[in-house]
Amino acid sequence: MLKIQDLTVAVEGKKLLEHFSLEVQKGQVHVIMGKNGAGKSTLAKVLAGHPAYRVVSGEIRFLDQLLPDSVEERALKGLFVSFQYPLEIPGLSNFDFLKLALNAKRRFLKKKPLLSSEFEKLYLEKGALAGLKPELLKREMNQGFSGGERKKNELLQMALLEPALAVLDEIDSGLDIDALKEVAGAIQKLKGREMALILITHYQRLLNYLPVDFVHVLEGGRLVKSGGLDLASELEEKGYEAFL
Ligand code: ADP
Ligand code: MG
110-115 CB contacts, 8 Å cutoff, 24+ apart: none
User: What confidence tens digit (pLDDT) does each residue in 121-147 have?
Assistant: 999 999 999 999 999 999 999 999 998
Q: How far is it, in rounded angstroms, from Cα 26 to Cα 164?
A: 8
Q: How far is it, in rounded angstroms, from Cα 36 to Cα 101?
A: 31
Listed residue (217, 237, 214, 239) closest to 227, CA to CA = 214
Determine the distance from the C-alpha atom of residue 168 to the mean position of all C-alpha atoms in its chain, rounded to a whole number: 2
Residue whose CA is at the smallest distance from ligand 1 atom 5: 39
Query: Could you tell me the distance, in angstroms and rounded to a whole number, from the CA of residue 36 to the centre of ligand 2?
Result: 7
pLDDT at residue number 242: 80
pLDDT at residue number 237: 87
Do 32 and 85 meet the contact criterion of CB atoms below 8 Å apart? no
- What average pLDDT does range 12-20 have in this prediction? 96
User: What confidence tens digit (pLDDT) does each residue in 59-75 have?
Assistant: 999 999 999 999 999 99
User: With 0-12 CB in 10 A as exposed, 13-18 as middle and 19+ as buried, what is 197?
Assistant: buried
Q: How far is it, in rounded angstroms, from Cα 25 to Cα 58?
A: 19
Question: pTM for this structure?
Answer: 0.96
> What order do you get walking across the sheet with 79-81 strand by strand?
79-81, 165-169, 196-201, 29-33, 214-219, 222-227
- What is the residue-averaged pLDDT of the chain? 94
| CB of 221 sitting under 6 A from ligand 1 | no
User: What confidence tens digit (pLDDT) does each residue in 221-238 have?
Assistant: 999 999 999 998 888 888
Question: What phi and psi, each to the nearest 5 degrees, are found at residue 162?
Answer: 45, 65
Give the residue, out of 7, 12, 16, with the most ligand 1 atoms within 8 A of its beta carbon, to mutate for a pocket test: 16
- What average pLDDT does range 176-198 have in this prediction? 92
pLDDT at residue number 197: 97
- What average pLDDT does range 49-53 have in this prediction? 95
User: What atom in ligand 1 is closest to the CA of residue 16?
Assistant: 12
- Taking the chain, what is the end-to-end CA distance rounded to the nearest angstrom? 30
| CB of 201 sitting under 6 A from ligand 1 | no
Query: Could you tell me the distance, in angstroms and rounded to a whole number, from the CA of residue 42 to the centre of ligand 2?
Result: 7
Please state, for a pLDDT cut of 90, what percent of the chain lies above it: 85
